[in-house]
Chains A and B, each alone.
Chain A
Amino acid sequence: MDVIILQLLNGLDKGSAYALIALGLTLIFGTLGVVNFAHGALFMIGAFCSVTLSKLLNLSYEVVDETQKDFMGNPLKVKMPYIESWFGPEIGASIIDWAVPLAIIFSIPIMIAIGFIMERGLIKHFYKRPHADQILVTFGLAIVLQELIKHYYGANPIPTPAPEVFRGSFDFGTLLGFDANTIIYPYWRLVYFAFAAVIIGGVFSFLQFTTFGMVVRAGMADRETVELLGINIDKRFTIMFGLAAAVAGLAGVMYTPINSPNYHMGMDFLVLSFVVVVVGGMGSLPGAVAAGFLLGILESFASMNQIKAILPGIDQIIIYLVAIVILLTRPRGLLGRKGVMED
């Protein structure tokens, strides 16, 4: 029992990442009808926003510290981050420590700007082109973004730790009445799950309970009619693209402490996220979220040692297998609507 709960929890954080990326993909697909292969790159850029911020905060100059001496007896030079000299050592250190959560604020304008530039500069010209062209041009863009990041940040993963407070693990076992140390779960993953839940809830309520969201939903259902009513739907869809980019970016920002970001993390997630979207049903937002969590949890169950003993390596292919089975039995995906991408 405790093993099952542990795997369930382990699946949540990966599932959250899948769900967030798939949500953005579905938003873009549902509004603009564009298949965005560069969405994984947006996730990666988000992650590198937090790397950049933590590097910026750690910018330092050298000062001579009279209290510390090296072995020759000379005063030692220590690095002093600018932040600490501006805000004092106490506050400065905690700002540096909280770099990843702070990167949320830092990344939102960046991601929205990137989203706007992408949509207005490139994707706009591809509404009327075949899906194959959309796939290809966004695929090219993904390569370009990935290579630029590689050029400036190098090919190696860059560890970006979570704030000190969240670095430990939480013992679920004692809470649920099992023995201590049976269900250990890092705090940050809990934070990530909660964060994902907030973002997903926010996007859904934005679409459901605001006038803007209502217009966007109407546009998703019937774009032409909304345009005939005199609403500038293009502008709203551009904003939705920016929002989707921000969702992917935030998913990336918060994911950095779980997995050190490297330049190809976006593509690794993208392929799986596409599978998630297809399993959930193209164009269905609840489907994308549900399938994201479902596949994340399935993946973590498949990586249990008991299952791996019977079928070695099943954890690496389970998602694809499930996707193939679902597409063959329910061609529209779990919650897909009729008439979406049927051609």
Chain B
Amino acid sequence: MLGLNKRDMTMLLIVLVLALTAPFTLNPFPTDSAMAQFNAGYPDLMQRFAIFAIFAIGFNILFGLTGYLSFGHAAFLGLGSYAAVWMYKLLDYNIAPGLVLAVIVSGLFAVLIGYISMRRTGIYFSILTLAFAQMMFAIAYSDLLGRFFGTSITNGETGLQVYNSDPQYLIDSWESGPHLFGLFEMRSTYTWDVGGWSFDFNAGYYLCAFFMVAMFYLSIRIFRSPFGMMLRAIKSNQTRMNYTGLNAKPYALAAFVISGMYAGLAGGLLASMDPLAGAERMQWTASGEVVLMTILGGAGTLIGPVVGAGFIKYFENIFSKINESVLHGWFGFLPDGLENALIWVVEHFVGPGWHLTLGMMFMLIVIFLPGGLVEGGQRIWSMLSNRKKAKDGSDAPQSTPAE
């Protein structure tokens, strides 16, 4: 079906079902229970799951397939956001033109940056992309373009947002926030209260989820296509590929542009959920985060980036919410000295110290599990099935008596 084999179809269906049922599955605890802080089923976070999954899926097409490690991918995310917000400022709150422009603009920039950066490989490529991203961050953060043209283009530190004085040529009186052709507003949410639970069904989330599933499907098709095979060839041995008479550069550049457009779409969606765009989205920390998501999930695997993005965004959210009083609540049953010692240790990693956890996770994953969570899962799976087989094997001789 849809040009996929059975295994890929199952994977696509799993992602689809997970995306559709997320408001339930991410809200397993009743609202007023003590565990409610582990719920992730509120619109803002679910949107982030889907958007950063798109970002990471796109990054994986470049890094996972070709092995080119771009350290400046967040630049395209920021570009997408700026493009979308400019459409709100010029036209109206309909997100469709914004998303289209976001993808086009980030694609064009990806062609330019990719063409220059791809002339070098390895570490040079990483540093060139990092330099481009930092340059674009500096331009956006201090609104250098705006100062050059004598107007405001990225609105500097404040970030780009929609003001009442903006032209908005197509605006209707009823529009107050991003919507899709007037069909539904992004922030419209239906809350279903059942028992102690309350489930939020948010229009914006379902739009992001739709794009996420569509982009996931596209990435499966790219992975299984001859083009995807070429990209893998670049990763495994570019020199040998050249000897067979193939020019690796156009393929690598195409992968770079595709992943840039994915990032642009993700940026446009971020601006669709909340009509703002700030320079911090382009900073190198944001680029590092998408690298981490991809690696954590498993670079070069289909489902890895989705898992990694969800994992990081979830823990970012949970960890940064925990504070000292919550810890005291948890460890209250321990003797005082032990409790304080434990809290002293854990305190480093939670709340504002979430980045420390992130860095630690980064190191541990790269050191012990270069294949990411997907590889870890596969290892456990094969260990379990081997044990089962071994058990079957040990059962077999018993059934045939020795005498």
State the CA gap A275–B133 with chains docked (Å). Answer: 13
**CB-CB < 8 A to A186: which residues of B?**
none
Q: Identify the interface centre among A139, A140, A320: most chain B CB within 10 Å of its CB.
A: A140
Majority-rule SS of A interface residues? helix
What are 23 A-to-B residue pairs whose CB atoms are below 8 Å? A35-B123, A130-B67, A139-B362, A140-B360, A140-B361, A140-B363, A142-B359, A144-B356, A144-B359, A144-B360, A147-B356, A148-B356, A151-B353, A275-B131, A317-B135, A320-B131, A321-B135, A327-B119, A327-B128, A328-B116, A328-B119, A331-B124, A343-B122
- Check if A6 is an interface residue, CB within 8 A of chain B: no
Majority-rule SS of B interface residues? helix
> Is A132 in contact with B359, judged by CB distance below 8 angstroms?
no
Which residues of A line the B interface, CB within 8 A?
Answer: 35, 122, 125, 129-133, 135-137, 139-144, 146-148, 151, 267, 271, 274-275, 278, 282, 311-313, 316-317, 320-321, 323-324, 327-328, 331, 341, 343
State the CA gap A312–B144 with chains docked (Å). Answer: 6
- Check if B130 is an interface residue, CB within 8 A of chain A: yes
**CB-CB < 8 A to B360: which residues of A?**
140, 144
Which residues of B line the A interface, CB within 8 A?
Answer: 67, 69, 71, 116, 119-124, 126-128, 130-132, 134-135, 138-139, 142, 144, 147-148, 284, 288, 291, 295, 348, 353, 355-356, 358-363, 366-367, 370
**CB-CB < 8 A to A143: which residues of B?**
288, 355-356, 358-359, 362
**CB-CB < 8 A to A148: which residues of B?**
348, 356
> Is A274 in contact with B130, judged by CB distance below 8 angstroms?
yes
State the CA gap A313–B121 with chains docked (Å). Answer: 30
**CB-CB < 8 A to A135: which residues of B?**
69, 71, 123, 126
> Is B355 in contact with A271, judged by CB distance below 8 angstroms?
no
State the CA gap A137–B369 with chains docked (Å). Answer: 12
Among candidates A35, A151, A316, A327, residue contacting B144 with C-beta atoms closer than 8 Å:
A316
**CB-CB < 8 A to B288: which residues of A?**
139, 143
**CB-CB < 8 A to A130: which residues of B?**
67
Name the distance in Å between A124's Cβ and chain B's nearest Cβ: 12
> Is B295 in contact with A313, judged by CB distance below 8 angstroms?
no
State the CA gap A129–B123 with chains docked (Å). Answer: 13
**CB-CB < 8 A to A137: which residues of B?**
362-363, 366-367
Query: Known contacts being A144-B359, A151-B356, A313-B139, is A324 close to B128, with CB within 8 Å?
Result: yes
> Is B122 in contact with A136, judged by CB distance below 8 angstroms?
no
Q: Identify the interface centre among A129, A130, A132, A133: most chain B CB within 10 Å of its CB.
A: A132
State the CA gap A122–B360 with chains docked (Å). Answer: 13
Name the distance in Å between A338's Cβ and chain B's nearest Cβ: 14
> Is A271 in contact with B362, judged by CB distance below 8 angstroms?
no
State the CA gap A312–B146 with chains docked (Å). Answer: 9
**CB-CB < 8 A to B142: which residues of A?**
313, 316
Closest partner residue, chain B, to A271 (CB atom): B134
Among candidates B130, B138, B362, residue contacting A140 with C-beta atoms closer than 8 Å:
B362
> Is A320 in contact with B134, judged by CB distance below 8 angstroms?
yes
Among candidates A129, A142, A274, A317, residue contacting B127 with C-beta atoms closer than 8 Å:
A274
List the 4 closest A-B pairs by CB distance, nearest first.
Answer: A143-B359, A140-B362, A313-B144, A140-B363
Closest partner residue, chain A, to B143 (CB atom): A313
> Is A140 in contact with B123, judged by CB distance below 8 angstroms?
no
State the CA gap A331–B128 with chains docked (Å). Answer: 11
> Is A144 in contact with B363, judged by CB distance below 8 angstroms?
yes
> Is B359 in contact with A140, judged by CB distance below 8 angstroms?
yes
State the CA gap A324–B131 with chains docked (Å). Answer: 8
**CB-CB < 8 A to B122: which residues of A?**
131, 341, 343
Name the distance in Å between A342's Cβ and chain B's nearest Cβ: 9
